[in-house]
Structure 1
Amino acid sequence: MATITDTSLKNLLRISFPMMMTFMSTHVMLFVNRLLLADYSLGAMNGVATAGMVAATFQFGVASVASIAEVFVGQNNGLKHYNKMGESVWQMVWFALATQILFIVIAYGFSDILIPQTLHEHGLIFFKIIMYFGCLQGIFAALSGFYVGQGKTVIVTIAAVIGNLVNLVLNYFLIFGWSDIISPLGATGSAIATVVALLIQSLILFIAFLKKSNRLTFGTHHYHLNISLMKECLRIGMPAAVGHMLEIIAWSIIAHILAALGSDFITIQNLCSTFFLLFSFFTEGLQKGMIAITSNLIGSQQFNKIGPLLRNGMTIHFAVMAFLVIPLFIYPNSLSALFLISADSYLGQEFQLAMRLLWFFFLFDGLVWVISGILVSAGDTKFIMVVNAMTAWVFAVLPVKLITSYADVSAGRVWGIVTVYAFFNFCLFYQRYRSQKWLKLQLN
């Protein structure tokens, strides 16, 4: 079997594009979900958006650990150790299942604390339902890693699209109700639709994972717990996950700070995060392509090809940013109209400013995702943990708290603060790549 060690722009796009479509279907689903909730009530949208961010702190952390399976699959693919590829995926599936205990404890014992009091009406029930099925995100990430590590990303896209189409349909009928058959459920309906979608996506990948050809070639029937392999997966996967969790916690605290300042602040924050989620499928899919190729390059000891791969990754990112100038910089009014916000109102003016600042945030944050694909593949995850946590708290949470407390800053200008954070984060990641310390982890 051939390894995916071609670093050309064409091959990177071939692998990344299906993953971009995977994340796009998910992000479009989330975007439409928030549009539906905003139509139901602005309070429901704010409650679900904030509660979803808090839930993502834990779900994304588990998924980040579980997705490390793609690195082990990729390196074994590069080494031609095909029969070992299924076992690493199983270890991360068991890990994700074990974390369900934590999700239930958090849902029962800490919901009232984690969700701002002003958003309890809609956010609390959404948060609890999502957390009761929190492990599904990690299971999907682990199973996706089996295909991403081989560069076979189309099946992940198919599973995601099917699940998200079901999610969209269920969201509409469960949020608003249907005749006399289904009563309007609002945020509760949105949560139920999300859980059903994740379950469908995971089942599709799991059934394909266990088909006969995969069992014979890749050992996907080797489901037994392997403590040493589990420890190795956690050793590499846990630091990056902790860093991302601390970063998301930082964003949740920023949401708490802004919620206390008034509805304009939290509305701008949630709208910005909504559009960031909508467009970030480009960078997330590109990172998966970077991980797939880099892990195979490392497995086959072709380190000299990583530099050209990074340049091609950055080329794709800059092309995406040139496209995003149109909606974020030139026509932000069209975006505010989707949420029935008048362009001439105070909220509309602040929204336009925030969208333009969001473009700069997206520029630097996307470059971080491209570089981190290389660092993750090399196992340099402790660096990711430290830097993501440090920059988010030092350059985002602290400045937002101080500036909003002691200066007269508007809701839109807050995104100028977090753009500075994204710039410093990029500088540190790029310096790490240039130092080649990540490469020494593989050579030692």
Structure 2
Amino acid sequence: MEASLSAFYAVQIFQLTWVSLAMMALVFVGSWYGEKKWIRIGPGIWQFIWFSIFSLAITLPFGYLYGKFYFKGTVIEEIVLPYYYSLLAMSFLFPLGGALTCFFIGRGKTLFVCIITLICHLIKLPIGYACIFGWKWIPSLGLMGGALSIFITQLVFCLALLFLFLNKENHQLYHTRDWGFKWPLFWECIQPGILRAINRLLSMGNWGAMTYLMAQGGENQLLTLSIGGTLALLTGFFGEAICLVQMTVVSQILGAKNYDSFYSAFRPGIIIATIAILVLSVNLLIFPDWTFQMLFPKIILDPSTVRLILMGVWFSSAFYTFSFLPISYVLAFKDTYFSLFMGFVNWIAGFLFIYTFIEILHFSTDYFWLLASFLHFTTALFYYLRTTWLIEKCKLSDSLFTIESKA
């Protein structure tokens, strides 16, 4: 288990970076769909498909060196490296799946994606069991069986989406069989995503630096980090899901030039985020002791410590989720230079903030997640201010264009 988790976390630095770049396809699909430039959608998605394949040119050599360094001298080095290299080799399938997903989500067609995703998750369990432990004529492959099951299910996911993407109706409307590599279009699509990918790298670097800082404090600090991190991992998908939906809506508004709908488009996201956070408060704020005992039955902590950690996780999750509302606007506007700037600010200021309170002011590490929630709050605030500026700038430009047209 330790080997599989370590390899999974190590490969994320490449996988999440490329996926975050490929998901920018959502912005382009939404914009072209709103502008009624449907014939650009198919060729545009193909540029992201080509990028997913080309990403191996960076992932394989740098991933190989990173793995050698990351696992060198560890007790799991011999058994983890083959598994890690297998995950590395199939990493291109994840941005590929993300790009194909954007073709459907960007047009508001989520049913196909939901059904295919559900089917793949359902078949992953029996395939994983058979490959890992063996079944009838299938030999037991252990850790490598886990890698094989991941490869099979992700490949099925990509092929199913590709089949629907290439069907006759989609080709007639969106030119989905126009598969050629086109450098001008490729660069137009990839360039904003590069900055977002760097932002994701900076975010992971910031988290890694804070993790390293906490690890230096001993077992108690690591326990606080692990408990909160486990809970945050379970709740983090709310924000990502809201971001995808909002990016689609805002991109279509931009494409259709229906700028009066910008602020009203905030409302559904705010309602969904509020409901999610209120539901989460039942476990983390109202029944923290029961929740902790259910999730961590073998860990014994003082009840006041448990309540403090879970309260910090709730605030952190709340601000993290709400921050994705303005972030989705910034990404839809393709304002990725600001996103990159915020990545640097969060990395430097975030680490210094935690370092100051934990190491210099000697705050208890039980306050770590409350401190992290303040970082998420400031991030949400800066992105919101940038969003309002972008909206007003867009409206002003449209007003000036209208006046000039009438003149």
- Checking the alignment, whether the CA contact within 8 Å between 1:84 and 1:219 is kept in structure 2 is yes
- What is the aligned-residue RMSD (CA, Å)? 3.0
CA shift in 2, pair 1:262/1:313, >3 Å: same
- Give me the identity figure in percent: 22
1:436 equivalent in structure 2: 390
Identify the residue that residue 373 of structure 1 maps to in structure 2: 328
Task: Return the offset for 1:175.
Answer: 5.7
**Counterpart for residue 138 of structure 1:** 95
Q: Distance in 2 between matches of 1:442 and 1:205?
A: 40
Within a 5 Å distance, the mapping from 1:240-319 to structure 2 comes to 240-319=196-275
1:68 aligned partner: 24
Distance 1:301 1:246, change over 3 A: same
| Structure 2 residue 50 is matched with structure 1 residue 94 | yes
1:352-367 alignment runs, 5 A limit? 352-367=307-322
Distance in structure 2 (CA, Å) of the matches to 1:190 and 1:263: 30
Looking at structure 1, the residues matched to 120 and 198 of structure 2 have their Cα atoms a distance apart, in angstroms, of: 28
Larger Rg: 2
Q: Deviation string for 1:289-340 (max 9, x for gaps)?
A: 1111111111111011010011331122112111110122233444444555
1:177 and 1:267 mapped to 2: Cα distance?
A: 35
Cross-structure match for 1:160: 117
Structure 1, unaligned stretches of length 5 or more? 1-36, 38-43
2:180 counterpart (224, 236, 246)? 224
TM-score (norm 2): 0.86
Q: Aligned to 2:173, what secondary structure does the other structure show?
A: helix
**Does 1:84 find its partner at 2:40?**
yes
| 1:414 to partner: Cα distance | 2.2
Say if 1:439 and 1:178 are closer, same or farther in 2 by CA, change over 3 A.
farther
Q: Distance in 2 between matches of 1:262 and 1:319?
A: 37
- Check conservation: 1:50, 1:252, Cα contact below 8 A: no
Q: Report the Cα offset of residue 169 of structure 1.
A: 3.5
Deviation at 1:415, TM superposition (A): 1.8
Letter in 2 for 1:56: Q
CA contact (8 A) 2:358 2:365 kept: no
What is the CA–CA distance in structure 1 between the aligned matches of 2:92 and 2:212, rounded to whole Å?
A: 25
Match of 2:404 in 1: none
Provide the C-alpha distance between the structure 2 equivalents of 1:359 and 1:308, rounded to a whole number of angstroms: 27
Task: Say whether the 8 Å CA contact 2:32–2:41 is kept in structure 1.
Answer: yes
Higher relative contact order (CA 8 A, sep 6+): 1
Matched with 1:128 is 85
Deviations along 1:39-75, whole A, 9 cap, x unmatched? Answer: xxxxx2xx55454344222212211211121211111
Preserved contact between residue 324 and residue 380 of structure 2 (Cα < 8 Å): no
> In structure 2, what is the Cα distance between the partners aligned to 1:182 and 1:334?
42
- The alignment partner of 2:264 has SS state of helix
Distance 2:305 2:179 in 1: 53
Taking the aligned partners of 2:48 and 2:82, their CA distance within structure 1 comes to 29
Quick one: distance in 2 between partners of 1:48 and 1:269?
A: 20
CA contact (8 A) 2:312 2:368 kept: no
> Residue 200 of structure 1: which of 156, 181, 191 is its match?
156
Aligned residues: 397
Structure 2 gap segments, 5+ residues each: 399-407
Taking a change above 3 Å as real, the CA distance of residues 224 and 61 of structure 1, as seen in their structure-2 partners, is same
- Check conservation: 1:400, 1:417, Cα contact below 8 A: yes
Structure 1 residues 438, 391: closer, same or farther in 2, change over 3 A? farther
1:342 and 1:348 in contact (8 A); partners too: no
Aligned 8 A contact 1:350 1:411 in 2: no
CA deviation digits over 1:229-274, x for unaligned, max 9? 1111122222122112210222233333434444554454344333
Q: Measure, in 1, the Cα distance between the counterparts of 2:7 and 2:152.
A: 18
Distance 1:316 1:365, change over 3 A: same
Question: Which residue identity does 2:369 align to in structure 1?
Answer: W
Distance 1:75 1:357 in 2: 38
